[in-house]
Amino acid sequence: MPHLQDRSEKHTAKVPEAPVRVETTDEVVAKTPAKVCGMGHRMKRKEDPRFIQGKGRYVDDVKLPGMLYMDIVRSPYAHAKILKIDSSEALKLPGVVAVITGQDLKAAGNLHYMPTLMSDTQPVLPIDKVLYYAQEVCAVIATDRYIAADACEKVVVDYEPLQPVVDPHEALKDQILVREDKEKKTNHVWHWSAGDKAATDAVFAQAAHVVKEKIYIPRIHVCSIETCGMVANWDRAREHMQIYMTSQAPHAHRTVFALVSGLPEHKIQIISPDIGGGFGGKVPVYPGYVVCAVASLVTGKPIKWIEDRSENLQADSFARDYHIEAELAADESGKLTGLRVKTISDCGVADAAANPSKFPAGLYSICTGSYPLLAADIQVDGVYTNKPPGGVAYRCSFRVTEAVHMIERMVDIMAHDLKRDPAEFRLANFIRSDQFPYKSCTGWVYDSGNYAAALDKAMKMIDYAGLRKEQAEKRAKGQLMGIGISSFTEVVGAGPAADFDILGIKMFDSAEIRIHPTGKAIARLGTKSQGQGHETTYAQIIAEELGLPATDVQVEEGDTDTAPYGLGTYASRSTPTSGAAAAMAARKIRAKAKKIAAYLLEVGEGDLEWNIDRFQVKGSPDQAKTIQEIAFAAYTNHPPDLEAGLEATDYYNPPNLTFPFGSYICVVDIDSGTGAIHVRRFVAVDDCGNIINPLIVEGQIEGGLTMGLAPALFEEIVYDENGQNLTGTMADYLLPTAMESPRWELGKTITPSPHHPFGAKGVGESPTVGAPPAIANAIVDALWHLGVRHLDIPITPHKVWKALREHGVRD
Amino acid sequence: MSQHEISLTVNGAAVTKTVEARTLLVHFIRENLELTGTHIGCDTTSCGACTVVLDGKPVKSCTVFAVQANGATLQTIEGVAPDGKLHPVQEGFWEKHGLQCGYCTPGMIMTAKSLLEKNKKPTEQEIREGISGNICRCTGYNKIVEAIQYAAAKLEEAR
Amino acid sequence: MIPASFDYHAPRTLDEALALLRQNEGAKVLAGGQSLIPAMRFRLAQPEVLVDINGLSQLDYIKEQGGYLALGALTREAALEESPLIRHSYALLLDTAKVVADPLVRQRATVGGNLAHADPANDHPATMLAYGASVVARGPGGERVIGIDQFFTGLFESALAPNEILTEIRIPTPGPGAGGAYLKIERKVGDYAVTGVAVQLTLSGNVCKSIRIGLTNVNPTPMRAVGAEQRLTGQALSDEALEAAGQIAAGECSPSADLRGSEEYKRDLTRVVLKRAVRLAQSRVKGSN
Amino acid sequence: MKLEGNYSFEAPLDTVWQGLFDPEVLARTLPGCEKLERQGDQFLGQINVKMGPVQGKFQGKVELQNVKERESYTMVVDGRGPAGFAKATANIRVKGEGATTRLDYDSDVQVGGRIASVGQRLLDASSRAIVKQSLEGLHEQLKALAARAAPVAAAAPAAESVAVAAAVPVTAGAPAAAAVALAAAVPAPVAAEARAAGAPPAPLPSAPSQAAFAMGVAKEVGKDLLTPKNIVLAVLAMALLGLLISRLASG
């Protein structure tokens, strides 16, 4: 696979010639009655009865006859030669069936390496060298998971330790080469740029004010409560591979398996059952999956592989790891004008990020944020280090979190430097609502927005003026209180085929709807819920479009034998893509239904109008056929010149991405004795366009906020200088509980997407993207008067304590 | 090494099985009893996904050996609504959208149910403390708190 | 994570348990198991024999007798939280029971196990040091009482012999003018302390007649802040005296740097928290308000 | 992880140096040692460490480098087992100061594998505790040796680099401690033995149980004539213990 090198970002999206102006409201309006439960209804989730009764079916619940278990021997070194793997003692244990090594995979057809989603390669099992701590070294197959674990302890691997390179800045010196297998003898993987350097230099030359900061966004881990796992079941007689796996993108994974293994794609069935949280961690293919599938091929038996938590925390599902140097410019009046960013992306041993192929740094160039900058110069370098591959999203649309954190921190620093109120400063600098659709200086065409409305609302909800007054009073008494704002612009719904693909497969998504004769329906989609509530929201979309009660629509995803091809669920793309496809497929069905209704009512199609769940004759609503009646007719009494049946499929290629936004305000109190941070209040005003199910949207936002709080205050994957992961359990990788998570206060504005079929934008990740800078800004706001300009996340009490003591505050 | 025959009551039914001493209770429940509603989320007694009620107490079944449950009464999520009539806590989680991926949910429900048996009218703070041994990665907890408040009110009504 | 194999015994009586320990060298006592079982799951502990004392219900009690509070070694943390006696008279112990690990772990975790494990990061060692408690151990030779000041001998090492079982903890009943508090700084619920300070004092007016202070997780061995105690004994609890005592404690402990923070941070936090814990204990002395 | 410090022994330089290089004691007192064999210039050993709740088998290798008589040496420790590994390089310097001897050490320690990822909180504490205890133990030992006034084999390792079989703890913190302890306590004897014996040392007789060590090396040393090696092992065991306890729920 070729290295991605020296690339600059190109966008094909254009400002529409006749842009649609959209209004901002803040009330959800349901057009359908409760019986139909279309868009806007707070419908209880259809999937919940199984989960609340313990009847969900996750991959570890799958038990097949004759199933064997796989466990993995992992490297204790971050970099070492493998001198010998002695599995003889392990093989002597009763119940041990096989030990699979890199040599075995090589012999099986060069399966010891696999391609990554970014067209790089990654070792599956190593032959001569381990490249990161906890790397898979070999796999044990046994009749029982306890025996497999025993056998792993008996495998003796003889290593010759090598010096690892852990810091990407050191790695760039190329004194230690991470990937000797590569043609290019360098740790520098790629260089990528966006914006216009010359124009940016010119803007900075004119600038009256420039602020500069180094911002590190550390490696974190999605840590879904369910780890990764697979049950692979190779049926020799049928030459058929059935795979249950924790996959956010089952179709894409099927294609990857077909290409890697050489098995015909129609002989591979991937079933993604209920998933216990994904957050991007279940997008890539990990070595364990490949070995598990190979083990089934070799043994002819079903094989189950389920990661332990510590394996999960040490070997896969890592995100972020961006080392940023940013400069922001403003003119004399405090108008923001330019942004210059240099970033090192620590890839680990492979560029295995889960980004669209042409975007090695994801959608990072959205980093001009909510501000109409004149120019920006964004440079990113990808670097190999002796760490596991990273780059999954962590509930984020491809590096948008990094972008938003950087710009919202920089804007806050500028506001403070200019002695301007951060809210007033933002309001004075936002892209105005009449500027949409807005083309940013890095090439994005923002579809719609009303940033001032969202911030205004948040300020009212939290009584911003009152808080500033309180802060001044407290400061006079030596008490530390801070107020932080984040006014973020998200970019989700990848994406338009012209720019977006994964391994060449365009990032459309799909829906197929079949209406049964009795007026019930099944809908199958190319995405895959991991808790987002697709079984409910897709049913509501179809209910909205066809008038079928949402309860009458069965939604299925995740089985590649039955669902239409799709790219899966991540990056808040399900509603923008598959949701749109569901609406478009429903509209195709409605078009056919109209013909049937015209036939039944013996009128012309032009005489009919649609009313919630029926076609009625214009001016004579008594003459009508409901969708159920039409469905029955589609199988029993359809027009002679029309095919029977009532179904449709749609592969939706979005014309543009969608750009959700919001303004968050956080209030913190800081204990000057201990550095403890108390998030007293947090108001989140989100605008995700039109809302399908307010209950689910609230849940997505609250959950996303806690996953934004987590990296802001708690979570970090820490390596020592030898590449040893020091945060290998949940005891050291700190996930917030209900005690650390504040009571979130939500508000909303609604600015529909002008190009999406029903004006929705996607919501699951906005809060994860928007929350960290609001929290960081609040903490720095509490400390600014002492001389503190910036603190890197996670902002721990230890860091705050250090800052306090350095600036002379002592309890 | 040592094998033990254990007898216990599981969701109201008597069960006798032979287990290896080292078999963790959670594996016994999932593999031997095939009650897969109880989940595994960590190795360190941190996450609470495996919470069951053992002799009336909510405990993390990954940190108890199955052999220790000999003679005990065990309730898992499958035993909360045996006849399909949802318990008020289950209702609350459904009504208030107290779950998303559903993976932590059985453990969360077992904890919440035990909490309300001890404290009939918990404050929000008491609820948050009470579920602080269970980690949810999806919901942000607001709606779990609301779900438990809903159940408390529902149980109060029933009394 | 799967433990290695072992032999399991569930004795019905204490004598049977002691006999099993005698017969099986290297046997390990299983109480609440909330530290031992995770260690076994990582195979960092691989005892060949486990003697499960959870069946010894005679070791599960909370009662006041003969001038002290007697806690059976199998008393669960959750039982402490729920005990009216402890809620009424043992504020320091109640504080402690509420912050050990998390509410589910506290359903199984035992006070005896928390002490016998002798982990300086555990919460009860500091509390029992502050109370001046004593520990009852049963061995082949019968019963002996070990003062808490002699109990912790090193990192994870206690004065218990391998063939002894800790059976009871005795806490002197606080007299008039007594008050106590435990303050723990933790990164999140379920975490070990960054620092923790346990204080038990007796006041006469504003003068501190006696005080004992235990520290959590800032020393390789659970420790008393003896210097700080001396600084405060016989003194009025002025801000200056507290600051001085806090500084002494910060100097006499010996914390290690880890992901919770630097050595310096932990010392300074100990200073700050000590002052607050003393003030809280003071406020709890009956009649002082 | 870097560890450094110094210790002052109430014994003259000769006694200290000889104490540090007594091969006989070394071989006799390796606790939990199940195997000890010489392979050319290297000694490879296996130790079964049992400390409190912790138990584990570890393969160890020790090399002594740059031995400068009555002055300094470098010890390289490499221990591995299923639970992880420990690597340490320790520089030891001794200097007579009249009736006392000052020992300075600095070491670079790396602990990896399960132990480090699980037992992070104990790495530093256990290493420091081990070093402290081993030095105190060594001090007691030296005093006992002096009291016994037994002739001590002259230690003059000629070999540039000699590997010694030693049980190397694979636990957190253990390595550092191990390295330092080993370096401080055991180095010379091995070297001397390697040179003088030329044949594999006989299997070690059963050593004192680690439990005894756990109870407190310092307490026991005086009466039982623990060798420095013993102390080293004890230290290693302690380190292991620390690691074992890992970062788990309390209670």
Give the residue numbers of A annotated as catalytic, written as ranges.
Answer: 248, 395-396, 765
For residues A570 and A278, what is the distance between their CA atoms, to the nearest angstrom?
A: 8
Residues of B in contact with A60 (CB under 8 A): 30, 36, 39-40
DSSP code of residue A526: S
D36: which 2 tokens? 């000890």
In B, minimum Cα distance to D250 occurs at B45
Residue carrying structure tokens 């509390």? C127
Would you say residue D28 has pLDDT above 90? no
Q: How far from A174 is each of A384, A389, A689, C152, CA to CA, in Å?
A: 10, 18, 48, 51
Taking one residue from B and the other from D, the number of pairs with CB-CB distance under 8 angstroms is: 7
In C, minimum Cα distance to B4 occurs at C8
Residue A260 binned pLDDT confidence (cut-offs 50, 70, 90): confident
Q: What is the pLDDT of residues A525-582, one digit of tens each?
A: 999 999 999 999 999 999 999 999 999 999 999 999 999 999 999 989 999 999 999 9
Q: What is the pLDDT of residues A772-810, one digit of tens each?
A: 999 999 999 999 999 999 999 999 999 999 999 999 999
For residues A616 and A597, what is the distance between their CA atoms, to the nearest angstrom?
A: 8
Residue A608 binned pLDDT confidence (cut-offs 50, 70, 90): very high
Residue D76 binned pLDDT confidence (cut-offs 50, 70, 90): confident
For residues A453 and A495, what is the distance between their CA atoms, to the nearest angstrom?
A: 27
**Among A205-214, A308-317, D129-138, D205-214, the least confident range:** D205-214
* Whole-number pLDDT of residue B82: 86
Give the closest-approach CA distance of A89 to chain D in angstroms.
13
The beta-carbon contacts of A593-597 under 8 Å, at least 24 apart in sequence, are A593/A546, A593/A627, A593/A630, A593/A631, A593/A634, A593/A646, A595/A639, A595/A642, A596/A625, A596/A630, A596/A633, A596/A634, A596/A638, A596/A639, A596/A642, A596/A646, A597/A625, A597/A630
Residue A13 binned pLDDT confidence (cut-offs 50, 70, 90): confident
* Whole-number pLDDT of residue D129: 66
* Whole-number pLDDT of residue D50: 53
- Mean pLDDT of the A233-251 span: 97
pTM for the full predicted model: 0.93
Q: What is the pLDDT of residues B52-90, one digit of tens each?
A: 999 999 999 999 999 999 999 999 999 999 888 999 999
Q: Output the DSSP codes for A640-660.
A: TTS-SS-EEEEEE--SS-B--
Position with higher pLDDT, A381 vs D145 = A381
Q: What is the pLDDT of residues A384-412, one digit of tens each?
A: 999 999 999 999 989 999 999 999 999 99
**Among A13-17, A44-48, A217-221, D104-108, the least confident range:** A13-17
Taking one residue from A and the other from D, the number of pairs with CB-CB distance under 8 angstroms is: 48
Residues of B in contact with D244 (CB under 8 A): none
Would you say residue D29 has pLDDT above 70? no
A382: which 2 tokens? 């990808």
Residues of C in contact with D241 (CB under 8 A): 155-156
Mark out chain D residues that contact chain A at CB-CB < 8 A.
1, 80, 82, 84-85, 87, 110-114, 116-118, 120-121, 247-249
Residue C5 binned pLDDT confidence (cut-offs 50, 70, 90): very high
Position with higher pLDDT, D100 vs B141 = B141
Would you say residue A598 has pLDDT above 90? yes
**Among A204-213, C260-269, D165-174, the least confident range:** D165-174
- Mean pLDDT of the D61-86 span: 83
What's the mean per-residue pLDDT of chain D?
A: 58
* Whole-number pLDDT of residue A452: 98
Chains in touch with A (3+ beta-carbon pairs under 8 Å) read: B, C, D
CB contact under 8 A, B45 and D248: yes
Report whether A706 contacts B141 (CB < 8 A). Answer: yes
Would you say residue D216 has pLDDT above 90? no
- Mean pLDDT of the A368-373 span: 98
* Whole-number pLDDT of residue D137: 66
Would you say residue D173 has pLDDT above 60? no
* Whole-number pLDDT of residue D239: 39
Would you say residue D45 has pLDDT above 80? no
Residues of D in contact with B44 (CB under 8 A): 247-249
CB contact under 8 A, D245 and C114: no
For residues C191 and D250, what is the distance between their CA atoms, to the nearest angstrom?
A: 8
Give the closest-approach CA distance of B45 to chain D in angstroms.
6
- Mean pLDDT of the D77-105 span: 86
Q: How far is CA D61 from the centre of its chain?
A: 12
Report whether D45 contacts D32 (CB < 8 A). Answer: no
Burial degree of C5 (CB within 10 A; 0-12, 13-18, 19+): middle
Would you say residue D221 has pLDDT above 50? no
Element (H, E) at B153: helix B142-158
What's the mean per-residue pLDDT of chain A?
A: 96
Would you say residue A460 has pLDDT above 80? yes
In B, minimum Cα distance to A275 occurs at B101
* Whole-number pLDDT of residue C287: 56
Largest Cα separation within chain A, whole Å, is 88
Residues of B in contact with D249 (CB under 8 A): 44-46, 63
Burial degree of C264 (CB within 10 A; 0-12, 13-18, 19+): middle
Residue type, A761: K
Residue D224 binned pLDDT confidence (cut-offs 50, 70, 90): very low
Q: What is the pLDDT of residues A647-674, one digit of tens each?
A: 999 999 999 999 999 999 999 999 999 9
φ/ψ of residue B60, rounded to 5: -85, 110
> Is residue D148 less than 8 Å (CB to CB) from chain B?
no
- Mean pLDDT of the A93-98 span: 98
Q: What is the pLDDT of residues C125-150, one digit of tens each?
A: 999 999 999 999 999 999 999 999 99
D117: which 2 tokens? 């990822």
- Mean pLDDT of the A201-213 span: 98
Share of residues in chain A with pLDDT > 70 (%): 99
* Whole-number pLDDT of residue D143: 72
Report whether A478 contacts A672 (CB < 8 A). Answer: yes
Q: Output the DSSP codes for B118-151.
A: H-SS--HHHHHHHTTTS--SSS-SHHHHHHHHHH
Would you say residue A9 has pLDDT above 90? no
- Mean pLDDT of the A314-337 span: 98
Q: How far is CA A116 from the centre of its chain?
A: 17
Q: How far from A785 is each of A467, A804, C7, D36, CA to CA, in Å?
A: 17, 11, 63, 65
* Whole-number pLDDT of residue A354: 87
Would you say residue D31 has pLDDT above 60? no
Tell me the angle at which helices B142-158 and A694-713 cross, rounded to the nearest 10 degrees: 130
For residues D237 and A282, what is the distance between their CA atoms, to the nearest angstrom?
A: 41
In D, minimum Cα distance to B45 occurs at D249
Would you say residue A171 has pLDDT above 90? yes
Residue carrying structure tokens 């694979």? D170
Taking CA C185 as the corner, what is the angle to CA A701 and CA B134, rounded to the nearest 5 degrees? 40
